[in-house]
Amino acid sequence: MCYNTAGTRVVDGGSKGGPAMIATETVKTVVVVLFGLCILWIIVIIVKNDMHTIVRALLVTAVLGLALFYLNQTKLEKLSFTAIKQDLFPLKARTFTFEKQEVYVDGRPITTFSFDEPGPRLALDMMNGGKHMVIKDIRPVNSVLERLGLPPITAGVAELASITGNGLDSDKYRWDAYEKGVLVIERGICRDMTAAQTFPCISRITITAR
């Protein structure tokens, strides 16, 4: 049995999982208390006419004020350094097209998403030795998975060839403990002719059910 579906999706920021997170309301309460203490600090400084300290107090108060403004504006229910970074600096939205194919092998579904060029960008870092690459920034991957209606990954992985020692596994990245089965991402080199850019991209995503 085989299904083919063409579609268009938009990639943006956002990844789930990862580091421990703190409730936004908890952080907001702490910042409000600190902001109030800073106001009292400034009042005491003015009363004592301590102009040497006023600049420092105003600076701290301004920082807390900006933090409070952000906390009142953000839609995040929980905060972490990564979540705040993604909220303030989201990945640039891009449009990509893909073809979905689903086949059954020994009764197990294997779903493949093949992306037309230019495919979604893939953030890679060089491993020690310079022979293989590793995915550390999982935001681009999770952006694509989210738009495909799939669960996110929670951690990056090294290039599969660096683990198996098999040259055929070059440009592949595998998550054995993925929620939907075994997830494999294949890397390609894409060219954006409109911007005259060449960049690593996702050429294919394969999910094999357990």
First to last CA, the chain: 18
Q: Could you tell me if 101 and 192 lie in one domain? A: yes
Tens of pLDDT along 140-157? Answer: 898 899 889 999 998 999
Confidence of residue 49 (pLDDT cuts 50, 70, 90): confident
Domain span at residue 128 reads 3-13+93-208
Q: Is residue 85 part of a domain?
A: no
Average pLDDT of the residues in 4-11: 36
Q: Could you tell me if 58 and 119 lie in one domain? A: no
Confidence of residue 69 (pLDDT cuts 50, 70, 90): very high
* 84, 85, 88, 94 alpha-carbon torsion, rounded to 10°: -130
* Domain total of the chain: 2
Hey, what are 47's tokens?
């009363």
Contact assessment for residue 21 and residue 79, using Cβ atoms and an 8 Å cutoff: yes
The pTM is what?
0.59
Q: Is residue 84 part of a domain?
A: no
Q: Could you tell me if 107 and 166 lie in one domain? A: yes
Q: Is residue 57 part of a domain?
A: yes
Which positions ≥6 away from 94 have C-beta within 8 Å? 10, 11, 120, 121
Tens of pLDDT along 8-35? Answer: 333 333 333 345 578 889 999 999 999 9
Q: Could you tell me if 110 and 157 lie in one domain? A: yes
Q: Could you tell me if 62 and 99 lie in one domain? A: no
pLDDT at 40 > cutoff 80: yes
* Bridge partners for 164 per DSSP: none
- Among 79, 105, 124, the domain-final residue is 79
- Among 51, 79, 107, the domain-final residue is 79
Which positions ≥6 away from 29 have C-beta within 8 Å? none
Hey, what are 184's tokens?
């494999």
Hey, what are 182's tokens?
């075994």
CA angle 63, 15, 149 (to 5 degrees): 145
Q: Could you tell me if 130 and 109 lie in one domain? A: yes
> Alpha carbon of 108 to those of 5, 30, 208, 210: distances in Å?
19, 51, 7, 7
Residue type, 40: L
CA–CA dist 161, 153 (Å, integer): 20
Q: Is residue 88 part of a domain?
A: no
pLDDT score at 92: 64
Q: Could you tell me if 157 and 98 lie in one domain? A: yes
CA–CA dist 78, 207 (Å, integer): 30
pLDDT score at 7: 37
The helix/strand/coil state of 166 is coil
